[in-house]
Amino acid sequence: MKKSILFLLLATAVVACDAQTKKSAAGIQKVNLNPPKGKAIAAFAEGCFWCSEKIFESINGIDSVVAGYAGGNKAYPTYEEVSSETTGHAESVLVYYQPQKISYRELLKIFFTSHDPTTKDQQGPDVGSSYRSVIFYRNAEEKQRAELAIKELSRTGQFRKPIVTELKDLKEFWRAEEYHQDFAKKNPNQSYIRNVSNPRYEQFKKNYKSIQKK
């Protein structure tokens, strides 16, 4: 009896390990949240990460952007699992930037300029908690700056409806499958990119005219 239980536990562990290996091979990785020397990181969720990635990558002072998942409760989440709205994750972007060239405050401005923070669990045609608006802070100062930004935007009445952006501690960030990385750049003729992502990006460029890459 004990041998049978031990065999079952070992078999279960092997299956779990094999599944994790396959996910890692697909590109799903837990990202090291310690930035390289002289760099900083920030994470945001604002709808489909295909467009968010393109927007942040267009800004001077931002070195690179990773599409992934944050804010959930499952290790190695897949795109299908996140899209099922059962893991708690939001499609997110992890931004690597140069703090001597661009401030966290400016990143918050980009965040609020590039999406509608008043639509709960929705961004454009995409509906579900995985498309919710979230600022993932890394310390008390970032949280305070995010709270102040929301307070100021609410005071000025820039948005007609109340801001519903969540503030969450960035505990983990999972790099999405490899085919999601630079998706808009690699698939310019894909229908969603042409009809949703590109118009959103063009609207962002009209509203935000600071420090964009040439």
Relative orientation angle of helices 104-113 and 140-156, to the nearest 10 degrees: 40
Contacts of 108 (CB under 8 A, 6+ apart): 135, 145, 146, 149
Phi-psi region of 83 (alpha: psi -120 to 50; beta: other; left: phi over 0): alpha
Give CA–CA dist 146/127, Å, rounded: 24
Closest CA to 93 of 121, 114, 120: 114
Name the catalytic one among 28, 41, 42, 48. 48
Helix boundaries (H) for 41-159: 49-57, 79-83, 104-113, 140-156
Give CA–CA dist 133/72, Å, rounded: 14
51 is catalytic: no
Instruction: Write out the E strands in 22-120.
Output: 29-30, 40-46, 62-70, 90-97
- Residues known to be catalytic: 48
